[in-house]
Structure 1
C-alpha cells in the first residue's frame, strides 16, 4: 500500500535531469529528462510587430511538437489536441506568472518588438509531458541570450554582445493523476493509461498558483485539490531549485 508499480511513493517524482545550452543555434535551450520522458526546448528571438491591444509589449509564442519517434502513438502532421494542450499549459504558466517582462522587449511602441518563440520538442514519451516541458521551458528561458541593439533613424542596428532575457518569475508545473481515488505525483505512461483524471498546478516563485489544468473524464473533490496543492507547492520548490541557481 502506498507504493506504485515502479516502486515510487505516491508523492515521489522520477529522477529529474536538466541540461542547458544543448542547441547551438538557439538563443536558449534546455533538455529535461523525467525518468524516461525526455523533452527539448529551444528559444528563438526575432523582431516583429506587437499586438494592437498591447503595443508596448513583446510577444510570447509557445509551440509543442510530439515527434513521431518519441512514441508509437504520435503521428506526423498538424498539431493534435495533445500538443495543443501541452503548448497551452506551458504558455499559460509563463504568461500568467509574468515570467518574462514583456514591456522590456519593446523596441518601438506600435512598430517593433522582440518576439520570443518557445518551441517544445518531445523526444521520448513515458508520461507527464507537462511537468517536463514546463521545467525545460523555464531552464531554457533562464539561459537565453538576447542580442544588443540600438535604434537609429527608425532602423534597428544589432550591436556586439548579448544580454539575458528579462526574467522576473519562475513558474513550475506539478501534475497529479487520480487512480483508484488516490492521487499520484508525476504519472508515468502506464499510470496515465489507467488514470481517471489528471490535474496540473503551476506555481510562481512566491508559491502562488498561477495556472490550473484538468484532464481526463474523472473528477477531483475539493479536499483532493487542497491536499494536492499542499504537496505540489513543496514539489514545485524542489524542482525550481534544479534550474534557478541562486
Structure 2
C-alpha cells in the first residue's frame, strides 16, 4: 500500500481518537509520558545522565575543560550543546555529518539552557579574555520514540546537575588542574522545555513518533524556575492561533513545574 495512503489512514485514526479526548497510547491530550532520569551513567565524564521519556531514550555526557573564550564573550565561560541520532535509534538515521533536524535539535537544547541562564557563565572565567572553563554537553539518541527536543533537554539539564567542576589555578597565565578538588556548577535556575504538537484542531503534549508524523505544527516552550518563558521554537508546516499559543504557554508552565521537581531531587 502507498505510504501516503498509510500516513492518511494513521492521521484519520489519530484524529478520531482525539475527538474522544484520547490518544493512540491511551494518554490524555495534556498528559506527558513517564519520565525516568538516571545520573552518573558515564564514569569518565564530568557529568552524565540517561533519560527515558516513554519509548525515547537519551544518554548525555558533559565534558569540562579549560578553553579560550569566544572573541566577543571574554567575560563568560563556554557552553556548547551537540546531539546525534545513532543509526540503531531510528531506521531513517544515517552515519555522517548531522542533518538539519539534528542541528535544530542541538540548537533548541542549547538555546533553552542558555536563554534561561541556567549556568552563571561569568563564574567560569579563569583569566578574562584569555582563559575560561568550557562545558561541552553531548547527547546521543539511543531510541527515537518521539519528542527528542524535551528528552535531550532533560538529559542535558540532568547531566549538568550531576557535574563535578574541576578546580584550576593559574600559573604563568596557564590553567593548571588542582588534583582532587571539585565543585558543583554555578546553577541559577532550572530550565524545562515542553513540546506540543497541533494535529487538526487538537493540541497534544509530548508527541510520539506517530503523532509527529502527522502533525500540522509543533512548538517547544522553555521556562525557568520563576515561571518565565525564555525560549520558543516553532516547527512544522502550519501555525497556531493566538488562543492556541496561550493554551500551549499555560501547559508549558504547568508541566514545567512537575518536571522541575524531579530536577530538584538531583541537586
Q: What TM bracket, shorter-length normalisation?
A: over 0.9
The two structures have a TM-score, normalised by structure 1, of: 0.98
SS in 2 for 1:100: coil
Equivalent position of 1:240 in the other structure: 260
For 1:175 and 1:153, locate their aligned partners in 2 and report how far apart those are by CA, in whole Å: 48
Query: Is residue 194 of structure 1 aligned with residue 211 of structure 2?
Result: no
| Residue of structure 2 aligned with 1:174, choices 194, 199, 218 | 194
In structure 2, distance between residues paired with 1:122 and 1:20: 16
Farther off after superposition, 20-29 or 154-163: 154-163
Q: CA deviation at 1:231?
A: 1.3
| Residue 116 of structure 1, CA deviation | 0.7
Paired with 2:126 and 2:78, the residues of 1 have a C-alpha distance of: 12
**Aligned positions of 1:210-229 closer than 5 A:** 210-229=230-249
Q: 3-state SS of the aligned residue for 2:112?
A: helix
RMSD value over aligned CA atoms?
Answer: 0.9
Secondary structure of the residue aligned to 1:158 is: strand
Q: In the TM superposition, what is the alpha-carbon distance from 1:157 to its structure 2 partner? A: 2.2
Counterpart for residue 13 of structure 2: none
State the partner residue of 1:119. Answer: 138
> Which structure's CA Rg is the greater one?
2
Q: Structure 2 CA distance, aligned partners of 1:243 and 1:69?
A: 28
Report if aligned partners of 2:196, 2:219 keep a CA contact under 8 Å in 1.
yes
Structure 1's consecutive aligned runs of 4 or more residues displaced over 2 angstroms after TM superposition are none
CA shift, 1:228, in A, is 1.1
Q: 1:153 Cα shift?
A: 2.6
SS state at 1:70 partner: coil
Q: Which residue of 1 aligns with 2:92?
A: 73
Aligned residues: 246
Cα displacement (A) at 1:165: 1.1
Q: TM-score, normalised by structure 2?
A: 0.90
Mapped contact 2:55–2:143 kept (Cα < 8 A): yes
